[in-house]
Amino acid sequence: MAACVTSVSSENATINSQPGEPPAQPRELSRRIKHQVLSEGFEKVGIVRAAALDDEGKQLREWLDRGYQGNMAWMERDPEVRVDPRQLFSAARSVVVVAKNYYTPAKHTDDRATGKVSRYAWGDDYHEIISAKLRSLLAWIKAEVPQAEGKVCVDIQPMMDKAWAARAGLGWIGKHTNLITTEYGSWVFIGELLLNLDLEYDHELVADHCGSCTLCIDSCPTSAITEPYVVDSNKCISYATIELRDLDLPQTVAENLEGWLYGCDICQDVCPWNRFEQTTDEYRFLPREGNVNAPLSEVLELTPKTYAERFRGSAMKRAKLSGLQRNARALLE
């Protein structure tokens, strides 16, 4: 599609036409951006104004005050940046929020000689895949609006991804604190593109459809979901097996691993909305060999060199070699 805009301000980008052409309106550009998002392979998209997440920010501070972040010290640093994307990208006017389905139909086994791996880490590292798609989207937008600027955010940036996805109408935050979509359940990766463009914004939210269901709360073996919509990371198997850097797992976790080596999907596996899962069309999310159930003996035999080779381009490298081997030993005790 030929570009019909030539001039925008980096602080407050407005769309101007070339001489003799009608001005492109935010509505039309938003429509084109959403179409391009789908062309990049994302299943869901919403666009909202870049503004402070006041209510969500209050909840974040209460969560931090309870110490529920465990040893994730980065969660405590500059919470105002997490709350307001303009602190991260000062020119931000709009937030394009996307979701990518990552479900694949493989199943865990109960082989006690192996450790179960969280579904999100079965294939290639989603950070790289989602980031590449968003960078491609940003390049397309810059071709349409030459003065457009943006920032790609995928999990590792200080953005409240799930809160933005809910605000953009992609789904709702479930009692297990994951985003749930009506089409794909909670098996989705979330990303954002901050733009210095004024666009047409989505205002329709998805209602909370959890109702009276408490399956996720009742099924958590460590009672990490302390109340609906609140997770204490200190009790969470996923946090302990991925983020925790201690030499030993907390006793409550170690005694209730239920076979999990890396991460935990229990609260998602029992969610009724995940009966509506659909197989992803992204082949890079298909399971790598040994990434659904990892042989514990092989994990314990890894060296720094073989570890780097084994998990190159995998999200499982997040746990570090020492963490994976600690988890394997706990499963064998």
Report in angstroms the alpha-carbon separations of 15 from 9, 24, 28, 85, 127.
9, 6, 11, 22, 31
Phi-psi category of residue 135: left, alpha or beta, with phi > 0 → left and psi -120 to 50 → alpha: alpha
Cα–Cα distance for residue pair 99/170, rounded to 1 Å: 8
| Greatest extent of the chain over all pairs of C-alpha atoms, in Å | 75
Assigned token pair, 266: 């229990």
Contact by Cβ (8 Å): 42, 184: no
Active-site residue (options: 155, 161, 232, 246): 155
Which regions of 131-174 does DSSP assign to beta strands (E)?
A: 150-153, 172-173
The residues that bridge with 192 in the sheet, in sequence order, are: 97, 153
CA dist 135 → 19, 40, 49, 184, 282 (Å): 30, 10, 20, 24, 17
Kindly compute the dihedral angle of the four CA atoms of residues 128, 131, 132, 138, in this order, to the nearest 10 degrees: -170
Q: Based on the residue annotation, tell me whether 155 is a catalytic residue of this protein.
A: yes
Short-list 236, 141, 152, 139, CA closest to 190? 152
Amino acid at 178: N
292 vs 115, 164, 175, CA distance in Å?
8, 30, 26
Contacts of 158 (CB under 8 A, 6+ apart): 74, 78, 81, 82, 88
Pull the structure tokens for residue 261. Answer: 């080596």
Distances from the Cα of 268 to the Cα of 40, 184, 188, 216, angstroms: 26, 12, 11, 7
Active site residue ranges = 155
